Structure 1
Amino acid sequence: MTFTREENLYYRCIETLKYDEVDIILITIPSHFDTKEELLSFLVEAKKKIKIPLMVAWLCADEVEQQRRSLWKAGIPTFIDPQQASICIKHLVWYGQWLNKKNEYYYTVS
């Protein structure tokens, strides 16, 4: 989901995705989003309600630094660039695959 100004749409998308086989949700928030505090509250609540990790790319770093810090404190990684967030997800996937292979090897050898 990317570049919408509607908080409601963020909610509906996250609600829809939580039922599918989704491992992580990357939310891209445009710099022109007006209701920053409302969106911040929604994202923190969404993280509490769903089991899927959330990651945010909020595109106006200086303007929303306070909100980005609040998301980090709530356990939601936040980036200023969707590419950085995607690279982070790529490394998380790689690490998860590595852990699975390591565990498979351990149980085969033991």
Structure 2
Amino acid sequence: MCDDKDNPPKDAVTQGGCVVISRTKGNCMACHRIAGVPSGDIAPPLAEVSKRIPDKARLRAQIDDAPKLNPNTVMPPFGRHGILTQDEVDKVVEFLLTL
């Protein structure tokens, strides 16, 4: 579904999920885990992330510029460095809140 250039996903949640698993965009799976998806284990699992970070704005800030919130993090500032567009950051947040 994510790789279908002729029929890309239309909803924000699915688009955000595609960014999360994309090796050329978010590449979240290099560090984080989601059940059933080949993934890393050096960062917290993404399952139930909304229980750890219930505030949507805080979750967005974590993805957009994690070092601003925690200078010791190894998570890159996806939004600030232009790895993801602001729209992609928003869609990743929408996806993560469904886990």
The alignment's TM-score, normalised by the length of structure 2, stands at: 0.27
Higher strand share: 1
When Rg is computed on C-alpha atoms for both structures, the one with the higher figure is 1
Larger RCO of the pair (alpha carbons < 8 Å, separation 6+): 2
Higher helix share: 1
